[in-house]
Amino acid sequence: MSGWDRIRSSRSQSTATVQLGRIQPQAPGHRSVYCNDREANAIAKFPGNSVSTTKYNVLTFLPKGLFEQFRRVANLYFLMISILSSTPISPVSPITNVAPLSIVLFISLVKEAFEDWKRFQNDLAINNTLVDVLQGSKWESVPWKKLQVGDIIRVKQDGIFPADLLFLASTNADGVCYIETSNLDGETNLKIRKALEKTWDYLTPEKTTEFAGEVQCEQPNNSLYTFTGNLIIEKQTLPVSPNQLLLRGCSLRNTEYIVGAVIYTGHETKVMMNTMNVPSKRSTLERKLDKLILALFATLFVMCLVGAIGSGIFINREYYYLGLDGKVEDRQFDPSNRFVVMILTMFTLITLFSTIIPISLYVSIEGIKFVQCMKFINQDLNMYHVETNTPALARTSNLNEELGQVEYIFTDKTGTLTRNLMEFFKCSIGGEVYGTGITEIERGSAQRSGVQLEDHKLANAAHEKGFNFEDVRLMLGAWRNEPNPDMCKEFFRCLAICHTVLPEGEESPEKIVYQAASPDEAALVTAANNFGFFFYRRTPTMIYVRESHAEKMGKVSDFQYEVLNVLEFNSTRKRQSVVCRYPDDRLVLYCKGADSVIYERLGEGNDDLKKVTREHLEQFGSAGLRTLCLAYKNLSADAYESWNEKFINAKSSLRDREKKLDEVAELIEQDLILIGATAIEDKLQEGVPDCIETLSRAGIKIWVLTGDKMETAINIAYACSLINNEMKQFIINSDTDEIREVEDKGDPVETARFIENSVKTQLKNCLEEAQKVLYTYSGPKLALVIDGKCLMYALDPSLRGMLLNLSMNCSSVVCCRVSPLQKAQVTSLVKKGAKKITLSIGDGANDVSMIQAAHVGVGISGLEGMQAVMASDFAIAQFRFLTDLLLVHGRWSYIRISKVVLYFFYKNFTFTLTQLWFTFQDGFSGQRFYDDWYQAFYNVFFTSLPVLMLGLFDKDVSASLSKKYPQLYMEGLRNVYFNWRMVAVYAFFSVYQSLIFYYFIITSGSSPQTSSGKMFGLWDISTMAFTCVVTTVNVRLLLSCNIITRWHHISVWGSILAWFIFIFLYSGITTKYDRQENVFWSIYILMSTSFFYLAILVVPLVALAGDFLYQGVQTWFYPYDYQIIQEMHRDEPDDNRNSRLLEVESRLTPEQARTYAIAQLPQQRSKHTGFAFDSPGYESFFAAQVGVYAPQKAWDVARRASVKRSRSKKPQKS
């Protein structure tokens, strides 16, 4: 009976007998999986295959969602106020605070629910995907969620693996299959997997039913590229490696179907364990906002304390008209216990003044940031890469304004500053350099030195993707005439055999496509092809190479090389080796890797070749080329068999398999014979030097953190304009004669001590010299270059401060030969040590830690997979797009969010202060000045929409001017727009305006004003004051805007209109069950008097006169930088519109192109500020001026007539 049959039968039985059989307790270090036997696996209680990525479920949504909301101090504060307002001591109705809080919470929870619902729908679709599972002796389709550990499944071509599988059999020959891991790491290169030969036959359901293996493997972990296990079958123990593991999320390619056994399911699969929780990041401005909220709390406490003390002093029986001359039941007004009066009044005033904290601030800012990301950043055509059809992507909306205050950028080199499109450019074979090309860096270096280089390009030079080599001495078999033809042959065979590349397509040099794990490998195999050693087919055990001119000139022969072992590349080994058997049974080990690693493993002799090749490597590095050394070793059959036995034992080990394999590899990778070196060019990305220069002018310091050699890194820095000859360079390097001499003694403790002292001395000397330079009046800029070995000691706590001080004084810093961990450590050093806002940008998995360590992480959508993008906050396709991301969107977002926060503070403080002034006149009794519904809707309806328009559309200068004058960005670095001085300015005008509102209305309304000779009552006065407040704070927003669009007018005047509509309806009805009778008919009484119209006209004008005067003085005598730029370019059109259309028009449909062309037309200019703003009513007129068709609109006729009249008045040019 199979496992499935047991499950079915168990449903019909009330009890089930469990046979332990061969079940053993699970060891903590590994797990045992019994294939095709569900009952045996049931004891271990492995998790199911259902996956959930949601944050909530039906039961936890409300409690968990509310907990998330009340983690915010402002929401928790208003919850407390809502509770207080429900007590008898509250002067206001609970609805005053409950209604706004409920609306804010409802909006936030709906947003959370919508996002989680999308996750749930995605999970549902994935969990219900069907897969073929072996049930009995046939395949049956079963949803993914019903899979269990040990099941045998079949996955067809282009299907996705539903769990982590042990690969058993394939329809391809030799038990191989091809997989694509793009869902896992973004890499689209196909990878080969090979089943164990013992399981190749388990392909049909009849045969697979007989499979009863036991898999002993490691416990679930998140390591994507390692796996340790054994398969026990028919009393044989076979080692299982990552080559037999098919991970969930990968796709099957070029294979009809495969059969596999489920090893890990659900959340224990490697891909699910890799779903890392990206560190929660909050912007610096948001943290400063918390301090402002705390300051408001303190202000609220002081206001309530003053009121409480005042109530304790004021309450007295002598005020007979208050009815306090007997026993007072209300303890809040009992003169005999003034302390209790003060305490109760304190709580009363807290509820009364609760509006000082803007409850809708957070939800408004979230909405503004979300729209900024979705509509502005993600859809910016200036950050759209046409070649790869890749737009910018904001993966979070929390850090928009942080982009406007970045002071330090940490960048990777390969794929970030460079294109990561590798081309075979030069090589050194047997001590001879081949390749006549000139790199961009060589050309730049020569230009700085004043030397003119002649580029001798051959008319018929071979140039294809991955191969840009020019030298007739090696092409078309000419290498046979070189002094070292045998060495050339070994060089080409090493390129053609020592790799893990997969060929695809037709087996011809012109049509074949190479799938490689890295662009470097593809370039090397392409080079072998161009040199006449054409690699065209591979199986798990054989490599097929078509060699031209190998035996004699003009002869083409096909050779089969048996691949016996592959010692794979990793970041520790920094090399790759292949042991192969020639057709004539010759055993050869080919090895390629970093020069430092290969030179350590070379045999004795050939010192001249080693010396010359090292000089060539330095020459290649100085030209900015990526280098590898090639070597080989002839093996005897006995030596190989002895070593191979150790290799097999290491592969079978369940513990420390990777370490043991590295140790075994060391045994055979010794006494190598040097062949030569390769040099691959990775060109700079388009626009990188200009981008870096622009960012430097903006006050941003850029550090390069790379794993390349120092010479390469320095030359890339020169090419990028990070370093120039005018700079004073400090170089801290471990490659000195003294350090090499100590290292040669072989004492690691003494070596470490010596290097640490050397680094300390160098840091001290550099710091002293830097301080001398900085004290001079016009000293040169400084640059620091440090290698990874010295950096390791410099990051020690005892030297870290010295390194930071030196780095802070340098304009550019280059760290070379650094590890991913060191990249993150350097980023954290500046972030935490210098308290500066940092941004890290990279494109590879080795940049993830650096990206997550910075305040803002930016991923490049490059050729090294998507791990950097997945870990980032923002993703762009090219480094040059940082200019738009920071100088345009970052700067605009910072200014907009700063204004939004300050405006919220201003309007709420102004509103609350009017209530405070009334408190001084009502005997500190806690009497409310405004109706409850006025207070409830003030933030939610009457003043909320205009501030959203400010946060979305305000723009001081255009995008082109922001990039033309990058110095404008420095205002964000100095935090000009959100500091305590600005808070004080807004607070001053809140006090001024609130006094105008309150005392002007109170004083003017103290005499009879109605037609019947009556005076205005409290609710008439408060309604008039509220009308003035709503009108003023909305119109005040227009003074804050640099650009006024129709949306600003709609929001401002619409909000004022909404207040009048509300008060017309609200004061026109009344019921006996609430306090609505207070304002019954008040607006109609007010509007029957001329005083009301005079008040709503004069009071806002007087209140805003101070703002107008302040802005005038500030603009004339203390202008911001952007105001100067505004005046300089007030009559110039935006000069980047046409270029943007040209860039993307090839990607647009005709209708989209027409719509986009209309959107780019010059717009009407605001007479308020003189700066461009959107006025789409005149599209057809401007469209005619530039030849773009747009539908005519009626009002364009009048516009055209007015323009013609203005043109006729202009003087004619002679």
Burial 187-226 (b: 16+ CB within 10 A, else e): bebbbbbbbbeebbebbebeebbebebbbbbbebeeebee
At position 1190, the amino acid (one-letter code) is: A
Asked whether 418 and 713 are in contact (CB, 8 A), the reply is no
User: Which contiguous run of DSSP H or E holds residue 683?
Assistant: strand 673-684
Half-sphere exposure of 894 (CA within 13 A, CB side): 27
Asked whether 380 and 889 are in contact (CB, 8 A), the reply is yes
Q: What is the 3-state secondary structure (H, E, C) of 291-336?
A: HHHHHHHHHHHHHHHHHHHHHHHHCCCCCHHHCCCCCCCCHHHCCC
**Helix, strand, or coil here: 371?**
helix
Tokens of 552: 């004699």
Residue 1165 to residues 1135, 1178, 1185, Cα–Cα distance (Å): 15, 11, 17
Q: What is the spatial distance between Cα 946 and Cα 1039, in angstroms, rounded to a whole number?
A: 12
Instruction: Identify the DSSP state of 402.
Output: G
Residue 180 backbone phi and psi in degrees, to 5: -115, 130
To which residue do tokens 């078509």 refer?
Answer: 546
Residue 780 to residues 272, 445, 464, 967, Cα–Cα distance (Å): 52, 20, 44, 20
Q: Which residues contact 1084 (CB under 8 A, 6 or more apart)?
A: 1067, 1068
Q: What is the total residue count of the chain?
A: 1214
At position 53, the amino acid (one-letter code) is: T
Closest CA to 1147 of 391, 634, 598: 391
Q: What is the spatial distance between Cα 299 and Cα 779, in angstroms, rounded to a whole number?
A: 48
Beta strands 542-548; 556-567: pairing state: antiparallel
Q: What is the spatial distance between Cα 119 and Cα 661, in angstroms, rounded to a whole number?
A: 42
Closest CA to 1172 of 1164, 1182, 1180: 1164
At position 1074, the amino acid (one-letter code) is: D
Tokens of 797: 């706590």
Burial 896-911 (b: 16+ CB within 10 A, else e): bbbbbbbbbbbbbbbb
To which residue do tokens 């101090």 refer?
Answer: 73
Beta strands 164-170; 245-246: pairing state: antiparallel
Asked whether 181 and 544 are in contact (CB, 8 A), the reply is no
Q: What is the spatial distance between Cα 223 and Cα 270, in angstroms, rounded to a whole number?
A: 7
Number of helices and strands in the chain (H, E): 43, 33
Q: What is the spatial distance between Cα 827 and Cα 925, in angstroms, rounded to a whole number?
A: 56
Asked whether 382 and 877 are in contact (CB, 8 A), the reply is no
251-253 sheet: strands from edge to edge: 190-194, 176-180, 251-253
Instruction: Identify the DSSP state of 267.
Output: G
To which residue do tokens 């769990």 refer?
Answer: 163
Active site residues: 412
At position 309, the amino acid (one-letter code) is: I
How many Cβ atoms are within 10 Å of 735's Cβ, its own excluded? Answer: 13
Closest CA to 994 of 936, 1081, 904, 910: 910
Q: What is the spatial distance between Cα 387 and Cα 226, in angstroms, rounded to a whole number?
A: 35
Instruction: Tell me the H-state helices in 47-94.
Output: 61-69, 73-85
Q: Residues 301, 303, 305, 309: what is their CA dihedral angle, to the nearest 10 degrees?
A: 180
How many Cβ atoms are within 10 Å of 1097's Cβ, its own excluded? Answer: 12
